[in-house]
Amino acid sequence: MRHGRWRFLLGALVPALVLHVVFVLSPYAQAFYLSLTDWTGVAGEARFVGAGNYARLGGDSLFLDAVRNNAVMLLVVPIATIALGLGLASLLRTRRGSAGYQIVYFFPQLLSLVVIAVLWGFVYNPNTGLLNSGLRAVGLGGLTKSWLADPAFALAAVMAVLIWSSVGFYVVLFRAAIDAIPAELYEAALIDGAGSWTTFRRITIPLVRESVQVAFVYLGIAALDGFAVVQVMTVGPGGPDGATEVIGLSLYRNAFTYGKFGYASAMGVALFFATLTLAILALRAGRKDRLELA
Amino acid sequence: MTRRLNPLPQIAMLCWAVVTSLPLLWAVVSSVKSDDEILNEPWSLPSTPRFDNWARAWSEANIGRYFLNSLIVVGGALLLTMLLGALVAYALARYQFRGNRLLYYTFVAAMFFPVFLALVPLFFVVQQLGLLGTYPGLILVYAAYAVPFTVFFLHAFFRTLPSELAEAAFLDGCSHAGVFFRVMLPLARPGLVAVGIFNFLGLWNQYLLPLVLNPDPDRYVLAQGLAALSVSQGYRSDWGGLFAGLTIAMLPVLVAYVAFQRHIRAGMTAGAVK
C-alpha cells in the first residue's frame, strides 16, 4: 500500500510539475535576469548591463506615456465598473425580469477581447460607425468625433470599451453577494422608513465589501493590461501619438518588433512590481476592514 | 405594503441592456448587409439578407480554418488542464507528505504573476523546443498557464469531499489511482464543470499567447485570425465579410450561453467567490 501511494503521488504530480517548471517558472525566473542584460536574441551574446535598462525606462517618453495611461485606467476603470455593477445589481434585487436582464448584461463577458475590440472599432468609426451615425440621427451631429483618432478622446474610448465589457460580470458577482444578505435586514430597514438610497448605502455596500475588494484586485490587474483592446482597436496601435499606449504594448513592440529582449524584460519586471503593489495594497486594506467589522 | 412606483430603476436597467446588446445586434444585422448598405445606412435593416457574406467569411477569409484551429488547440489544452489540474489538486488536498504546502504555493503563486513578465523567455523556451507555431506547443503552454487556477479551485473542492467513501474503496482493494478516477473524480463533478467552463472561455478567448507563439497564419486561432482579418479586410473593404466573421466568432458562444446560462454564470463567477 505504501509503495502504491508514492507511485500514485509521483504519477499525479510530476507531469504537471515538469510543465509548470518548463513553461511557467523558468520563464518568470529568466525574465528577471534578462532585464539586466542588453540581449537582442542572439544565443550567448547577452551583455550584463546592470540597472541600465531600468535607467533607460525613465527616459523613454513612449513608455512614460504608457505608464501614465495605465495609471489613468487604474483610477477610472475599476471605480466606474464597480459603481455601475453594484448599482445595477442592487436594482435587480427586487425587480421582475431581473433574470432576463442578467442574461443580457453578461453577454460581453463571453466574448474575446479581440472580438470586442474589432466590434467597437466599427462602433467608433467616424463615418459609418454606430455611435456617430446614431448621434447624427438624433440631431446631436455636433458631438460626432473621430473617437479613436482624437488624442483627447482615444483613451476614454478605450476605457469605455473595457468598462462595457466587464460590468456584466460584476453585476452577476455582486448580485450573488447581495442575495446572501439576509432579507430581514432589508425588511427591517423598510419598516424603519429607510429609502432605497439609504438602504443601499447602509446595508448593501457594507455587506458586499469583500466582493468589492476582490473586484478591485481583478479590475486593477485588467486595467494594468489593456493590451488586446489597444493592439486591435487603436491607430498605430497605441496612438494617436501615444495617447493609448499601454505597458504591455510597449513590451510587445520592443521585444517582437525591435528585438530588444533585455529592455522589454525590464518593462515586464516593472509591470510585475506594479501588479504586486496593487495586490498587497488591496490585501492590507482587506485586513483592516475585517478588524473594523470584528 | 405600498411602494412608490419610481420608473427610474426600470429605465436604468433597460438602458444598460440596450447599451450591452445594441452593438452585438448591430454586428449580426450588418453581417447580412451589402457593403453599400453598411457604409450608407448603418442603422437600417438590409433590403435582402445576404448570407453569402457568411460563406465568404467562412471559406475565403479562412474563418472556418481558424475556428477549427481554435477547437483543436482549446480542446487539447482543456483536456490536459483538467486532467493535470485535478490530479495535482487531489494529490495535494488528500495526501500528507513533506513539501506538500511548498508544492501548492509553487503552483498557485503563478496566478499572481502577469503573463507579460514571462513573455520574452517563454518565446525562446518554446522556440528551443521546436514547438513554435505548432498545435502541441500551444496546447502545452495553454495548459501550463491554466493549471495554477485549476489547482487552486479544485484543491478547495477536494478538501470538502467526505473521506468515508475513499476509505471504503481502499478497504475493497481499490488502488490509489482507482480511488481517484472511480470515486473522487465523479464526486467532484460540479467543481470540474465550473472550472472547466471557466477554463474553456479563458482559453477560447486567449490572444496574447498565440500572438507571440503562433506566427504561422495557417494555424491562427480564431482571435488571431479575426484581428488579422480586421486589418486585411479593411484594406480590401469587404465590410460585409468582416461583420460576418465577427458574427461567426460571437454567435456560437452566445447561443451556448443562453442554453446553459445558469451553469456558465456559476462557473465564471466561481473563481472570484472562491
Q: Is a pLDDT exceeding 90 seen at residue B34?
A: no
| Residue range A233-247, pLDDT digits in tens | 988 888 788 899 999
% of chain A beyond a pLDDT of 70: 96
| Residue range B171-191, pLDDT digits in tens | 888 888 888 888 888 888 888
The verdict on a CB contact (< 8 Å) between B16 and A84 is yes
Tell me what the mean pLDDT of segment A29-40 comes to: 89
Where does the pLDDT of residue A288 fall: very low under 50, low under 70, confident under 90, or very high at 90 and above? low
Cα B83 to Cα B150: distance, rounded to the nearest angstrom: 10
The verdict on a CB contact (< 8 Å) between A26 and B121 is yes
% of chain B beyond a pLDDT of 70: 92
A169: CB partners within 8 A, 6+ apart: A85, A106, A109, B268, B269
C-alpha gyration radius of chain B: 23
Average pLDDT in chain B: 86
The CATH number given to A46-293 is 1.10.3720.10
- Cell numbers given for A58: 525613465
Per CB-CB distance under 8 Å, the chain A contacts of B112 are 275-276, 279
The verdict on a CB contact (< 8 Å) between A91 and B12 is yes
Tell me what the mean pLDDT of segment B257-272 comes to: 70
Does residue B253 contact residue B204 with C-beta atoms inside 8 Å? yes
Task: Tell me the three state secondary structure of residue B45.
Answer: coil
Report domain extents, chain A.
46-293
Where does the pLDDT of residue B147 fall: very low under 50, low under 70, confident under 90, or very high at 90 and above? very high
Å between A73 CA and nearest CA of chain B: 17
Å between A248 CA and nearest CA of chain B: 7
Q: Is a pLDDT exceeding 70 seen at residue A70?
A: yes
CB pairs under 8 A between A and B: 256
| Residue range B12-30, pLDDT digits in tens | 889 999 999 999 998 888 8
> Looking at per-residue confidence, does A268 or A196 come out higher?
A268
Per CB-CB distance under 8 Å, the chain B contacts of A98 are 13
So what's the pLDDT on residue B258? Answer: 81
Does residue A165 contact residue A108 with C-beta atoms inside 8 Å? yes
| Residue range B51-105, pLDDT digits in tens | 888 888 888 888 889 999 999 999 999 999 999 999 999 999 989 999 999 999 9
So what's the pLDDT on residue A253? Answer: 93
Å between A276 CA and nearest CA of chain B: 8
Q: Is a pLDDT exceeding 60 seen at residue B192?
A: yes
Residue of A nearest to B108 (CA): A20
So what's the pLDDT on residue B235? Answer: 61
Q: H/E element holding A272?
A: helix A261-293
| Residue range B216-248, pLDDT digits in tens | 888 999 999 988 888 776 666 778 888 888 898
Q: Is a pLDDT exceeding 90 seen at residue B137?
A: yes
Q: Of the given ranges (A29-43, A251-265, B200-214), which has the lowest mean pLDDT?
A: A29-43
Q: Is a pLDDT exceeding 50 seen at residue A294?
A: no
So what's the pLDDT on residue B85? Answer: 95
Tell me what the mean pLDDT of segment A192-203 comes to: 85
So what's the pLDDT on residue B2? Answer: 45
So what's the pLDDT on residue A3? Answer: 67
Å between B160 CA and nearest CA of chain A: 20
Residues in B 235-264 with any Cβ partner in A closer than 8 A: 242-243, 246, 249-250, 253-254, 257-258, 261, 264
Asked if the C-beta of B107 comes within 8 angstroms of chain A's C-beta atoms, the answer is yes
Residue A16: which of B22, B147, B176 has the nearest Cβ?
Answer: B147
Task: Tell me the three state secondary structure of residue A224.
Answer: coil
The verdict on a CB contact (< 8 Å) between B120 and A255 is yes
Å between A206 CA and nearest CA of chain B: 17
Residue A110: which of B116, B257, B269 has the nearest Cβ?
Answer: B257
Average pLDDT in chain A: 87
| Residue range A164-183, pLDDT digits in tens | 999 998 998 898 888 888 88
The verdict on a CB contact (< 8 Å) between A172 and B121 is no
Instruction: Tell me: cis bond preceding A240? Omega within 30 of 0 counts.
Output: yes
- Cell numbers given for A25: 517558472
Tell me what the mean pLDDT of segment A257-277 comes to: 91
Å between A106 CA and nearest CA of chain B: 8
So what's the pLDDT on residue B236? Answer: 67
ipTM of this complex prediction, to 2 decimal places: 0.85
Cα B25 to Cα A34: distance, rounded to the nearest angstrom: 47
Domains of chain B plus CATH, in order, are 65-219 (1.10.3720.10)
So what's the pLDDT on residue A286? Answer: 62
Per CB-CB distance under 8 Å, the chain A contacts of B24 are 107, 119
CA angle B143/B148/B149 to nearest 5° reads 100
pTM to 2 decimal places: 0.87
So what's the pLDDT on residue B234? Answer: 63
Residue showing cell 438590409: B46
